[in-house]
Amino acid sequence: MPCVPWPLLGSSVTLLLTFTSSVRTSRSQPTTGPCVESFAQHLDSFIPKRMQELHVPGAGLALIDHGEVIWTKGYGVEDKTTGKPVTPETVFQAASISKSVTAWGVMRLVQEGKLSLDAPVERYLTRWHLPSLRIPTMWMVDSSAM
């Protein structure tokens, strides 16, 4: 696994902590290697501080390389009342966050000028096509859908 620059992952880890992800795996020890060990040490320093700043009682994290879980760890507690610690096997009730995460990613691309909300979807998704129906963004923003 190539080493990943820590600043690049800062916003990703923050996003994960904001939405509290779920991790379930049978493997809880890191794959040996200096890069994974170094990054795990960084997480052990960074995650508890960020959790405290965001008032997150518990989080489960996993590092995945080419579809394989190579490291997992639980931080904090899953229940503040009992003090039961988070483990890699802890399952969180995360609700339906994929839409929020996708919307955040799309708007980030819009902000960077890499995506236009008014462009046809076929400009970005080339393997399938929608019928030709163009609705200006302002119509969607300015209507109540009634």
State pLDDT tens for residues 34-46: 788 889 999 999 9
The gap from C-alpha 142 to its chain's centroid, in whole angstroms, comes to 31
**pLDDT per residue as tens digits for the range 106-139:** 999 999 999 999 888 888 888 877 776 666 666 6
Q: Which is nearest to 47 in space by CA: 65, 68, 23, 67?
A: 23
Known catalytic membership, residue 96: yes
| Residue 84 φ/ψ, nearest 5 degrees | -65, 125
| Residue 58 φ/ψ, nearest 5 degrees | -155, 150
On the question of pLDDT at 53 being above 60, the answer is yes
Once rounded to an integer, what is the mean pLDDT over residues 99-108? Answer: 92
Residue with tokens 């929608």: 130
Total-model pTM:
0.50
Q: Pick the catalytic residue from 21, 26, 45, 96.
A: 96
Q: Which helix (H) or strand (E) holds 119?
A: none
Maximum pairwise Cα distance, the chain: 58
Which is more confident, 70 or 13?
70
Paired with 58 in beta bridges are: 76
